[in-house]
Chain A
Amino acid sequence: MQVDRLPQGGRIDRSRPLSFTFNGRQLSGFEGDTLASALLANGVHLTARSFKYHRPRGIVGSGPEEPSTLVELEGEDASANQPATTVRLRDGLSARSVNCWPSPGFDLGGINQLFARFLPAGFYYKTFKWPNWHLYEPSIRKAAGLAGAPAEPPAEGHFESRFAHADLLIAGAGPAGLMAALVAGRAGLRVMLADEGIEAGGSLLSRKLTIGGQEAMTWVSETVTELAAMPNVTHLQNATVWAYREHNYLMVNERAPENPGLLERNWRVRARHVITATGAIERSLVFGNNDRPGVMLAGAAQTYANRFAVRPGKRAVVVTNNNSAYSAAADLRAAGVEIAAIIDIRRDVPDAARALVPDTEILSAHVLTTALGHRHVRAVEIAPIGGDATRRISCDLLAHSGGWNPAVHLFSQSRGTLRYDETLASFLPDQPAQNTICAGGAAGALTLAEALRSGAKAGARVAGVQAPECPDADDLPYAIEPLWRVETARGKAFLDIQNDVSVDDVHLALREGYDNVEHVKRYTTGGMGIDQGKTGNINIIGTVALKQGLRLDEVGTTTFRAPYTPVSFGAIGGIRGESVVLPYRHTPITEWNLAQGAFMYEAGARWRRPGYFPRPGESFQDTVNRECRAVREGVGVYDGSPLGTFELKGRDAGRFLDHLYTNVMSTLKPGRCRYGLMLTDDGLILDDGVALRLDEHRWIVSTSTGHADVVNSHMEELLQTQFPDWNVFITTVTSQWNNATICGPKAREVMAALEGDIDLSPETLPFMSFAEGTVARLPARVVRVSFTGELSFEVNVAPRHMRALWDAIMEAGAPFGIGPIGSEANHMLRVEKGFLSLGHEVDGTVDPHDLGMGWVMSKKKPDYLGKRSVALRRAGDAVRRELVGVRPTDPNRQIPEGAPLTPGGERKPTEGLVTACVWSVVLNRWVGLALLERGASRHGETVHVRLTDGTIPAEVTAPIFYDPHGGRLKS
């Protein structure tokens, strides 16, 4: 039963009833309701329990400022910690209160209220510090915690991100924002107007004002219609501008965009100009028990009456320090709420304000000391300022207003400075840091006429046009006398309702020396809730100022940070599935690999490569051993296309490569290739690879798969910043060349069986040379390099020919038993040979000497990258980890890759680690590579791998287990 729903009025659609569930109770509301307005319509006032003391709480606000009632949504739109005031009601919605068990009416945690005296600010930090806080944190978090995150992503729908550009982004579609949009839109600017509310109008939705002699909402709807007809204006509702970053880059979170499959959209907007017309937020008064259900901001009570046709109480006391609450009182009275009295702290109440509420008792120069009632306010005690309570007035609604804070959040996020304004008793925007203009309430224009004018002026300034005349508007002037807290308050007086921070907590923090406002915030957690202290922070600043005898601007504000209101992770992430932002890279053989049942690995740089090709009945190890044996005894083939490949052209290419590689490249003859290492200038290995000289001024450089981009960046940076006058051009050709590498003792026979015109004899095409011609009647470059230790022919062709080449190899190789080999077998084969792998042996700490590759460091060249640093390091006597082979004493014992080596296997600092360990099909045992302190001089020693469950002894050997003289790969 919507017992407190008014029979007419409001911006709800009574023809569209909605049913919903709250804490298991079936209730109903109407289209246009928020969860909060529907709860109030149903007479539900006890809606929450507080964070720390589990005090009963109700609904305080009517928008994103809500400090009190957070709910967890269940079912298909599961999400945690939503302010009930921003949850749009829909049919079937299911919500429950957070932070209470089993229900807000009967909450076992409520016992904390009895111990409130013992739970001051910093209580947990002081008490649970031995042995450390992290031991206690989980259970304390659970007791104090808010709702948990949903366990599953939304079952249906998705989130997306979208980029946009605008001449002008306007945050807020209240009177100022609409007026600015109208002026700028008419002037032809590309305008984006975003507003957090379900419908446009801002404060006008809550009030009964007129513009140009007609209802304000008529003006709103005419303006929205005119904007909708402008192709240069994008108008978003239910879209919060939540972050204002550098270079006028803003984030807009659009909820429920008009697309059924889309949950939320996050706009990333780069705007030339920004107008923040974000309005003002009403602040709380700080008196005793100012958190009881039934205590509500006056503006919120007015909103419920006017916008949602809800009567938030039967008999109200209104407390204020400014004029705005008088219009709230008038509207409440019009909605049938009896106004028991208006308590005004000001001595002089303006006649214009009094005129709004004729025949109402107005007690000026009075304060409210405490609210009585536990589960609902039932009376208030009032007192003359500075005096004792003199009177008690019964009520079930306490509507209070401590004044209005311009919503300077976005302006402040943009690094604009703030100043304290004595007249408005609030912080106002001062100097902008970017192209930002504040308009309307956000700029301190707190009456309707002022807001319209300031919006028009801001829009005109951006558009470079004359500001138009604004229509007349009726509104009371805003006149405030600040009151940061009632000094004679009785009972807990909350500054931050959400985090249960009271005046006493702030005083305690000050006593304990936390006297900077940022420290007060962190020590008390005031302003650190989901609402970010929108209604209460100013009172914390005021309380600090009063206690320390400072002005508010001397205390200053805490930093306003994004997000303005909570944003779901989904919206921030957008569509970040692998297929959209980071697609995998494939070679023309991927389909074939998948058809063969290959198990695919991610191979770095987003490449996917076959890891191994299992056959029915084989174990993993069986498969790898079979593939390795094929290469060692017969022939295998792998797709080497992902290797990074660059073509370098120009007169200075040789000179450049000499600088880049440790060894001399410029002496290489065309038709030959050379292996080399690239170091960074600090003498560590960046990459290894092979350079091919095509002709005098053309080279091909290959890099490891995962480092191609790094090497590209490195080369380009050197050329563009250090050697801009060198004649070298780099073209990335990784995707312009694919290759099939045929390897094994029978590789030459397979090559011969492929129709081609290249002389493959070792005399004409020796190891580390290449030839161009045809293979399988396809134009190809055949390179004799080997990463497996066997005779290898790397057949490079254009990608469009790759599949034909592959098929031809499979056909020609079939009589020799050819098969594809995956990266597991490649790994095993290279470990047997002691070949390096980036990321295993080369881990960013080793230099070539550590790897036994001192020979690759040219002594002839006076300078190259890394030379000086390696020499400098070698000149010291620091112990280095050096590459060795390891053979587990038990040949059948595998060593986990990465396992540490410690002296004697004891619990001592490590002396190295095992970088790789594979089953050698040649030796029929496990063999590994390791980096070991002074390893090069320790061959023959026994070292120990230390694991959590024991040690593995292993013999140190040279880091090569197969064909040490390379006869096979040179054959």
Chain B
Amino acid sequence: MLLIPCPFCGPRNESEFAFGGPVKPGRPDPNATSNADWVAYLTQVPNPLGPVQERWWHVRGCGTWLTIWRDTRTHNIVEGPADAG
């Protein structure tokens, strides 16, 4: 079970979070993007062997959506969420 650093609550067990999936590139302007690019945006989820940027929702905690970099080979959290204050 991962130990996820919540910027508000400190390191907490994974079981307090819901997985939000890897972070996709920003949502393109739907009125100014090709069909192919739009489909790629919807369907292509980063799945690297190595660090991946991903989101977690601290649903059983403070409710924050946070973003971390996790290495898929080791589970090491190589970069924590930006400090929320």
Contacts and interface: CB of A to CB of B under 8 A. Distances in A.
Contact of B30 (A163, A249, A717, A863): A863
Contacts of A716: 57, 63, 65
B65 A681 contact: no
B46 interface: no
B30 A713 contact: no
Contact of B13 (A270, A709, A717, A869): A270
Contacts of A867: 30
Contacts of B64: 720
A433 B55 contact: no
A245 interface: yes
A697 interface: no
Contacts of B9: none
Contacts of B42: 681-682, 869
B57 A862 contact: no
A717 B18 CA distance: 11
Given A246-B75, A268-B1, A270-B3, A721 B67 contact: yes
Given A249-B3, A721-B65, A863-B30, A713 B35 contact: no
Contacts of B30: 863, 867-868
Contact of A872 (B18, B20, B38, B55): B38
Interface string A236-275: 0000000001111100000000000000000010100000
B45 interface: no
A713 B67 CA distance: 15
Given A681-B42, A682-B42, A717 B31 contact: no
Contacts of B57: 713, 716-717
A868 B42 CA distance: 11
Contacts of A245: 1
A194 B67 CA distance: 36
A869 B65 contact: no
B74 interface: yes
A862 B31 contact: yes
B53 to A, nearest CB: 11
Contact of A246 (B2, B27, B31, B35): B2
B18 A713 contact: yes
B78 interface: no
A163 B13 CA distance: 11
Nearest to A720: B65
Size range of the interface on B? 20 to 34
Interface residues of A, number: 25
A721 B65 CA distance: 7
Contacts of A433: 74
Contacts of B67: 721
Contacts of B27: 681, 722
Q: Is the interface of A mostly helix, strand, loop or mixed?
A: helix
A863 B30 CA distance: 7
Contacts of A270: 3, 13
Interface string B10-47: 00010000101000000101110001001100100000
A716 B58 CA distance: 11
Contact of A717 (B38, B39, B55): B55
A840 interface: no
Contacts of A862: 31
A84 to B, nearest CB: 34
A869 B31 contact: no
A415 interface: yes
Nearest to A247: B3
A639 B3 CA distance: 41
Nearest to B63: A716
Contacts of B59: 709, 713
Contacts of B65: 716-717, 720-721
Nearest to B13: A270
- Among A433, A721, A868, chain B packs the most CB atoms within 10 A around the CB of A868
B73 to A, nearest CB: 9
B55 A249 contact: no
Nearest to B21: A717
A585 to B, nearest CB: 16
- Among B13, B20, B30, chain A packs the most CB atoms within 10 A around the CB of B30
A479 B29 CA distance: 72
Nearest to A862: B31
Contacts of B74: 246, 415, 433
Nearest to B4: A247
Nearest to B3: A247
B55 A721 contact: yes
Contacts of A869: 38, 42
Interface string A855-899: 000000011000111001000000000000000000000000000
A863 B31 contact: yes
Nearest to A245: B1
Contacts of A717: 20, 55, 57, 65
A144 to B, nearest CB: 36
A634 to B, nearest CB: 43
A713 B27 CA distance: 18
Nearest to B67: A721
Nearest to B75: A246
Interface string A409-428: 00000010000000000000
A863 B29 CA distance: 9
Nearest to A249: B1
Nearest to B1: A249
B85 to A, nearest CB: 13
A218 B78 CA distance: 47
Nearest to B77: A247
B56 to A, nearest CB: 10
Contacts of A709: 59
Interface string A658-694: 0000000000000000000000011000000000000
A722 B20 CA distance: 13
Interface string A705-721: 00001000100110011
Contacts of A868: 30-31, 38
A274 to B, nearest CB: 14
A246 B1 contact: yes
Contacts of A415: 74
B58 to A, nearest CB: 10
Interface in A721-775: 721-722
A268 B59 CA distance: 21
Nearest to B18: A713
Nearest to A876: B35
Nearest to A163: B13
Contacts of A872: 35, 38-39
Nearest to A248: B3
B38 A247 contact: no
A713 B42 CA distance: 19
A270 B2 CA distance: 10
Contacts of B3: 247-249, 270
Interface in B46-70: 55, 57, 59, 63-65, 67
- Among A163, A721, A862, chain B packs the most CB atoms within 10 A around the CB of A721
A863 B13 CA distance: 38
Nearest to B33: A868
A247 B5 CA distance: 12
A722 B27 CA distance: 9
Contacts of B55: 717, 721
Contact of B1 (A247, A721, A722): A247
B14 to A, nearest CB: 9
Contacts of B35: 872
A247 B2 contact: yes
16 contacts: A163-B13, A245-B1, A246-B1, A247-B1, A247-B2, A247-B3, A268-B1, A681-B27, A713-B18, A713-B20, A713-B57, A716-B63, A721-B65, A862-B31, A863-B30, A869-B38
Interface of A: 163, 245-249, 268, 270, 415, 433, 681-682, 709, 713, 716-717, 720-722, 862-863, 867-869, 872
The 8 tightest CB contacts between A and B, nearest first, are A868-B30, A246-B75, A720-B65, A247-B3, A249-B1, A682-B42, A717-B65, A721-B65
Given A681-B27, A722-B27, 7 more contacts: A163-B13, A433-B74, A681-B42, A713-B18, A717-B57, A720-B64, A721-B55
